[in-house]
Chains A and B, each alone.
Chain A
Amino acid sequence: MNWLRKNSEVIILPLIYVVIFLLQKNKILNNYIIQIIMLAGVNIIMTLSLNLVNGMTGQNSIGHAGFMAVGAYVSALFSKIIFSAATMPPALQTVFFLLATIAGGIGAAIFGFLIGMPTLRLKGDYLAIVTLGFGEVIRSIIRITPTVGAARGLTGIPKLASLFWIFVFVTITIYVCRNYMDSAYGRGCLAIRDNEVAADTMGINTSKYKVQAFVTSAFIAGIAGSMYAHTLRYLHPDVFSYTKSTDFLVYLYAGGVGSISGSILGAFVLTALPEILRFMNEWRLVIYGGLLVVIILFRPVGMFGGKEFAFLKLKTGGIRHIGFSNLFQRKSKKTAVANEEISQ
């Protein structure tokens, strides 16, 4: 019983799924709401992936949609073009969906390695420029490749992703990120974020740690891409533009950069918000933008900056967050208090 109280997420996480599932079965949640939850799940995975680079390692990736594009196209290529999974029996479909997802992740990770290897050896913001360029290059390559539909987009991808699988992958990603942060690798990354020179002096192989975090992040982004492709069933290179990368940055910074709970909450709330605001018609994106400004003004560290859900508390303790306040080299009172709470 005591163990259960300490590890309540073992019950709570499956319970969340069961509740959503029951509500869906009984038509209380219609397909519209389920669709939003699924897209929010994809965005949560992407934001967690971005958090590994921007939040944990202190590097700047501003073209993360490029890795998502690689994952999406590789997995769609796998499930639609190489093995036409649409005509298979359901059990086999699931197997191929998982294989396609892993293939998408590996594809993105390979690109992550190729990009990260040379640029992460340098100190400074080179990664920002390179990832930005990478996103555009990937789009241009897709646009001229006839096998994946070129500029017309890839249609007829089998609908293999379901609420269940997205939920499973979100859960796995949360735990991978939590444990990564809690491991020696993660603490190395946190050290690099806080002071790269000091970390180097302490004997941390900074470029190795940065590349590891970046490749892991790219792999997770590839997984999210596969979920996206098999939910939406249609891919177009222009979907993965610079604007898409910015969306994830916004989710991350509004949710709380460096915080896993913040990434989850930011992605979920900001995916659902424009849909909730649909009754405002053409004003809805104005309100959406306005709310973002309010969040950043009143909570510069993001909604969950410097905090974690209880079940995600790290065993090693002490996550110090970075947020917009650091960008302006100014610490609000709240930030200082939040810092103290955590370090205690």
Chain B
Amino acid sequence: MKKFVLLMVVLSLSLVMGISAVSAEKTIPDEINLGMISTISGSQAIDGQNMTDAIKLVQKELEENGGLDVDGKKVKINWIIEDCEAKPEIAVNAAQKLIEQDGVLAIVGPNNSGDTIASAEISQAAKIPQITNTGTNEAVTKVGDYVFRACIIDPFQGKVVAQFAYENLGLRKTAVIYDNADTYSAGLDKAFVDAFVALGGEVVANEAFSGADVKDFSAQLINIKNANPEAVFVPAHIDNIPLILQQIRGMGIEATLLGCDSWDYAAMPELVGLDVIEGAYYVTGFSPDAETAADFVKAFTDLAGYRPSFCSAMAYEAAHIVLNAIQNAETIDGTGIRDAMMKTELDLPSGHVTFDEFRNPIKSGIILQVRNGVAQYVGSVSPSK
């Protein structure tokens, strides 16, 4: 037994040495494995479906071109899709499996912040770039310098709204009503106020309420009414938005209404009341109606049979960011692809995309306006840095 173990040790040691002795000069492989982790089963299976269809579309595009064109050579891309059941420990297993067993060079997903943070620890340690499609938690990209995200984050939205209000609508006096017990709401308020003041505008009233169970906003709204703003920004959650908006109009405040991506529900105009929300603007990360997204939406709808959601659009973009990085990488390995991802300059369905030094995307926010009870695409705004 001892002899056998010793033999095995010697054998495997020599094997390891033999493998590492092969030199690592710049070569373009015939095939590259890429991984995708998403919630194919479990409570968020719908997102998994959306992401799988997005990857299928990417795969179809690649097959039509005969593979990915890297310096004139057609490279076959294999997408390996793994389930994480919306559980962090399963996401970790999936990332380990993709990296160790399948030897992937990059990972797209998962769609949840929690799953991404847990699995990103693995890809960071293995120096394999990972890009989440819809993980909006700020802590995601703080895991390390191999972790990216494809969607815009909260502070960025605040900037977009401020710039749109100041430059496109020409407003100079705005007010905000926000929930100071909620990080999302408070974060957006701060980002908006900072950006709007920096542009030269004035925030005449910045009113806070505390907690989602507040139902009467008249104290805050009286202050806003007295300040007489041209627009009111309402970065609240879906459960508060109808009440706030109805009470704003009930108070007789006739200012323009501005919102953020929490407003982005098809049923929102109905919930709030058509006359109340008519003409309001809000920002979101992706709109199937934007002219930049037209080709993608058509191709996706043909393939999957339904219109792409935010989740599938971001998965599609994440996959293209990785593919583009492979084309531009100096060496085809995790570090090379990461460095190339940092230099991303790409036109995608939601607009032009680059990355900031914290690996969050800099791209345009999509502005929608509610007209006749339907949110319609107005334009894209990219804030100056």
B257 at the interface (CB under 8 A from A): no
- In the complex, A27 Cα to B8 Cα: how many Å? 12
**B60-119: which residues lie under 8 A (CB-CB) from chain A?**
81-83, 85, 87-90, 92-93, 96-97, 99-101, 113-114, 117-118
Report B-chain residues with C-beta under 8 Å of the C-beta of A236.
88, 114
Pick the residue among A22, A32, A282 that contacts B97 (CB under 8 A): A32
Known: A155-B139, A278-B97. A239 touches B114 (CB 8 A): yes
B143 at the interface (CB under 8 A from A): yes
In the complex, what's the smallest C-beta–C-beta distance from A30 to chain B, in angstroms?
A: 4
Report B-chain residues with C-beta under 8 Å of the C-beta of A208.
none
Pick the residue among B9, B81, B96 that contacts A35 (CB under 8 A): B96
Contacting pair A22 B5 (CB below 8 A): yes
B12 at the interface (CB under 8 A from A): yes
User: Other than the known A232-B118, A282-B83, what 13 A-B pairs have Cβ atoms closer than 8 Å?
Assistant: A26-B13, A26-B16, A31-B122, A32-B96, A150-B183, A152-B183, A155-B142, A236-B114, A239-B88, A239-B114, A275-B93, A281-B40, A281-B83
- In the complex, A30 Cα to B122 Cα: how many Å? 13
4 closest A-B pairs by beta carbon, nearest first, are A26-B12, A32-B96, A30-B100, A32-B100
**B323-362: which residues lie under 8 A (CB-CB) from chain A?**
none
In the complex, what's the smallest C-beta–C-beta distance from B56 to chain A, in angstroms?
A: 13
Report A-chain residues with C-beta under 8 Å of the C-beta of B137.
152-153
Q: Of all chain B residues, which has the CB nearest A150?
A: B183
Name the residue among A28, A33, A236, A239 with the largest chain B CB count within 10 angstroms: A236
Report A-chain residues with C-beta under 8 Å of the C-beta of B114.
153, 234, 236, 238-239
Contacting pair B96 A26 (CB below 8 A): no
- In the complex, A27 Cα to B101 Cα: how many Å? 12
B194 at the interface (CB under 8 A from A): no
Q: Of all chain A residues, which has the CB nearest B49?
A: A282
- In the complex, A232 Cα to B96 Cα: how many Å? 12
Report B-chain residues with C-beta under 8 Å of the C-beta of A233.
118, 121
A143 at the interface (CB under 8 A from B): no
B246 at the interface (CB under 8 A from A): no
Pick the residue among B100, B121, B139 that contacts A152 (CB under 8 A): B139
As a 0/1 sequence over residues 105 to 138 of chain A, the CB contacts with chain B under 8 angstroms (1 = contact) are: 0000000000000000000000000000000000
Report A-chain residues with C-beta under 8 Å of the C-beta of B81.
281
Report A-chain residues with C-beta under 8 Å of the C-beta of B118.
232-234
B372 at the interface (CB under 8 A from A): no
Q: Of all chain B residues, which has the CB nearest A152?
A: B137
Interface residues of B (CB under 8 A from A): 5, 8-9, 12-13, 16, 40-41, 81-83, 85, 87-90, 92-93, 96-97, 99-101, 113-114, 117-118, 121-122, 137, 139, 142-143, 183
Name the residue among B81, B89, B92, B142 with the largest chain A CB count within 10 angstroms: B89
A172 at the interface (CB under 8 A from B): no
A36 at the interface (CB under 8 A from B): yes
A313 at the interface (CB under 8 A from B): no
Report A-chain residues with C-beta under 8 Å of the C-beta of B101.
30, 32
In the complex, what's the smallest C-beta–C-beta distance from B195 to chain A, in angstroms?
A: 23
In the complex, what's the smallest C-beta–C-beta distance from B85 to chain A, in angstroms?
A: 8
Contacting pair A31 B88 (CB below 8 A): no
Number of A-B contacts (CB under 8 A): 82
Contacting pair A234 B117 (CB below 8 A): yes
Known: A30-B101, A35-B93. A22 touches B139 (CB 8 A): no
A284 at the interface (CB under 8 A from B): yes
In the complex, what's the smallest C-beta–C-beta distance from B43 to chain A, in angstroms?
A: 9
Report A-chain residues with C-beta under 8 Å of the C-beta of B40.
281-282
In the complex, what's the smallest C-beta–C-beta distance from B165 to chain A, in angstroms?
A: 29
In the complex, what's the smallest C-beta–C-beta distance from A112 to chain B, in angstroms?
A: 24
**What are 15 A-to-B residue pairs whose CB atoms are below 8 Å?**
A26-B13, A27-B12, A31-B96, A31-B99, A36-B93, A150-B183, A152-B113, A153-B137, A159-B121, A232-B89, A234-B114, A239-B87, A239-B114, A278-B83, A282-B40
Report A-chain residues with C-beta under 8 Å of the C-beta of B85.
285
Report A-chain residues with C-beta under 8 Å of the C-beta of B83.
278, 281-282, 284-285
- In the complex, A22 Cα to B12 Cα: how many Å? 10
Contacting pair B139 A153 (CB below 8 A): yes
**A275-310: which residues lie under 8 A (CB-CB) from chain B?**
275, 278, 281-282, 284-285
- In the complex, A228 Cα to B40 Cα: how many Å? 24
Contacting pair A39 B89 (CB below 8 A): yes
Report B-chain residues with C-beta under 8 Å of the C-beta of A159.
121
- In the complex, A238 Cα to B113 Cα: how many Å? 12
In the complex, what's the smallest C-beta–C-beta distance from A121 to chain B, in angstroms?
A: 36
Report B-chain residues with C-beta under 8 Å of the C-beta of A278.
82-83, 97
- In the complex, A152 Cα to B82 Cα: how many Å? 24
- In the complex, A31 Cα to B87 Cα: how many Å? 19
Report B-chain residues with C-beta under 8 Å of the C-beta of A152.
113, 137, 139, 183
Q: Of all chain A residues, which has the CB nearest B10?
A: A26
Report A-chain residues with C-beta under 8 Å of the C-beta of B142.
155
- In the complex, A31 Cα to B96 Cα: how many Å? 7
Q: Of all chain A residues, which has the CB nearest B98?
A: A32
Name the residue among A150, A228, A232 with the largest chain B CB count within 10 angstroms: A232
Report B-chain residues with C-beta under 8 Å of the C-beta of A153.
113-114, 117, 137, 139
- In the complex, A30 Cα to B103 Cα: how many Å? 12
Contacting pair B143 A155 (CB below 8 A): yes
Contacting pair B5 A234 (CB below 8 A): no
Report A-chain residues with C-beta under 8 Å of the C-beta of B82.
278
In the complex, what's the smallest C-beta–C-beta distance from A13 to chain B, in angstroms?
A: 16
- In the complex, A230 Cα to B13 Cα: how many Å? 30
- In the complex, A278 Cα to B101 Cα: how many Å? 12
Report A-chain residues with C-beta under 8 Å of the C-beta of B9.
22, 26
- In the complex, A27 Cα to B142 Cα: how many Å? 30
Report A-chain residues with C-beta under 8 Å of the C-beta of B97.
32, 275, 278
Contacting pair A39 B93 (CB below 8 A): yes
Contacting pair B100 A232 (CB below 8 A): no
- In the complex, A155 Cα to B88 Cα: how many Å? 12
In the complex, what's the smallest C-beta–C-beta distance from B121 to chain A, in angstroms?
A: 5
Q: Of all chain B residues, which has the CB nearest A149?
A: B139
Known: A35-B96, A155-B143, A234-B114. A27 touches B16 (CB 8 A): yes
Pick the residue among B12, B41, B113, B139 that contacts A28 (CB under 8 A): B12
Name the residue among A39, A155, A234, A282 with the largest chain B CB count within 10 angstroms: A234
Q: Of all chain A residues, which has the CB nearest B1?
A: A15
